Amino acid sequence: MDYDKLLEKGIKELPSISQEKDRFEIPKVKGHIEGNKTILINFTQIASTLRRDPDHLLKFLLRELATPGNLDEKRLVLGRKISSSQINEKIESYAKIFVLCKECGKPDTQIMKEGKANILRCTACGARHIIKTKI
Ligand SMILES: [Zn+2]
């Protein structure tokens, strides 16, 4: 077999499907509207999938959505009607800022304090980024 054929074979055998599988999926909210309130039933689950403190995620969401809200056991109660797509969007931006590594896209990260700065450190590739958004 010559080199071109080998190359072709190599390309064909690239595991494109498993790559897709490895990609981290940001969890989507589940819940419903109750009167004038929005109830999310999987909020703490989302926080634990993102491996972040629920209070941290909550603060961000309430500020971004400009709504009052509180945790009631495991349910998150938001003080007004908000569509799930709007909340998903905010959780996505939270993940991009506070969870996903900007180099490799993996969620295996930790937030560390260095002086006054918060650093997002990736345990998968070792990249470090300063988190500019304050909560
Ligand atoms: Zn990384």
Domain ranges of the chain: 26-99, 100-135
Query: What distance in angstroms lies between residue 95's CA and the mean position of ligand 1's atoms?
Result: 14
Better-predicted residue by pLDDT, 35 or 4 = 35
The pLDDT of residue 8 is above 70: no
Query: What distance in angstroms lies between residue 54's CA and the mean position of ligand 1's atoms?
Result: 23
Query: Could you give the angle at the alpha carbon of 19 between the alpha carbons of 15 and 21, nearest 5°?
Result: 120
Window from 5-9, 81-85, 99-103 with minimum mean pLDDT: 5-9
- 6 pLDDT band (50/70/90 cuts)? low
The torsion defined by the Cα of 124, 92, 53 and 67, in degrees rounded to 10, comes to: 170
User: Average pLDDT for residues 115-128, to the nearest whole number?
Assistant: 96
Query: Is the domain 26-99 a CATH 3.30.70.3150 member?
Result: yes
